[in-house]
Structure 1
Amino acid sequence: MVTEEAESGQQNIKEKKENEGESEKSLVREVVETIIHALILAFALRTFVIQAFYIPSGSMENTLLPGDMILVNKFIYYFTDIKRGDIIVFKYPNDPSKDYIKRVVGLPGDSLEIKNGDVYVNDKLYEEKYTKEKAADDMIMHAHIEKDPAGAVTSVAAQGKIKVPAGKLFVMGDNRNNSQDSRFWGFLSQSSLKGKALVIYWPLSRIGFIR
């Protein structure tokens, strides 16, 4: 014979198990939702704000070394202007599937010239403490092919002054004698920018802001 107390005890055990089951389901649901939100946030950050890049070559030595891993701010130029000295990541003009990293030397409207390996911007010596060495020659723009907006093809080479057109940048690697940059493939369209290099985060011995 089952007493009322026994029935009550069995009911309590059943309710406890049901509550525990609901708690477990709720916990799993919260974990899944947290993971999904984290993935969405990570995707949004990578797409719109911050992206990691690996440095494969020595074209930016000694500022950036082969093997460095850096974070790039992809949002910053929506709020601030590009400045001379900024280190930027951009789509390589001759192959947009590749990303390049260089330093901005010339802004739209600037006149540029290389004399005795030194860069002159608007007729003034441009102080550059970060370069590995001076340029080996004074050719500001080596022979290369460019297309104008109408599609006309021209061959460009310049020793002496050049002027940076509107909407363009002139970029160079800090390792002046081991860098494929604007001297070889011309001006960079600002529309090709992906962001500004901010910090080195790997290896641990090189963690720090990029300047």
Structure 2
Amino acid sequence: MKYSISLLFLFINLFSFAQTKRDLPKGYVYLTEYIPHLSVDMKYFSNHNFVGRKIDGYKSSKVILTERASLAVQKIEKELNKEGLGLKVFDAYRPQKAVNHFKRWAKDIKDTLMRQEFYPRVDKRDLFKKGFIASKSGHSRGSTIDLTIIDLKTKKELDMGVAFDFFGEESGHDYMKLTNIQKQNRIKLKKIMEKYGFRAYSKEWWHYTYNDEPFKDKYFDFDVK
């Protein structure tokens, strides 16, 4: 009897897993299937982001990425783990409806709720022109990821000079007014990401896109759930 019950639970679990997989378009996976211990802080599922409220299309804090990019991130995590380090993810696949939410927010000049923390020296009207927000995001193609490095024991993020989504020159890879530690940390992240096939975005130290992305011209709009 116990054996039969165990088989039943196993079948239910396998069915649930398969059903979850089918909810994603072909070629997409949940990154935690490849890195179960992954540190996740999905900012757009919370109110702690540059808009100040949860973003459209984020129904959960799950990290979704193309399988091709996920396999590369898995290799990065394994290499960092040897040093007692790991990755923390802030965003990965992003539905187009979320990008549209950003666009609506950017047009509302009076809404500056989070300005002091995220864009203190940038006019909100210039966020598109300066390349901090785009009407079409590589995130919606599923192979772009925003992340940093953490200490596995303390879970503390390595000091990168400024936080994720800080809109200013300080976030750029060419910004030099950093401490030696901050420079070294950014270089460490950039080197290991590039080693496994990712390319950096010049204006944001946290933003990387997999070079061999499977959907180079297709933008998706399914929810993160």
Instruction: Give the structure-1-normalised TM-score.
Output: 0.34
The structure that is helix-richer by fraction is 2
Bigger Rg over Cα: 1
Instruction: Give the structure-2-normalised TM-score.
Output: 0.33
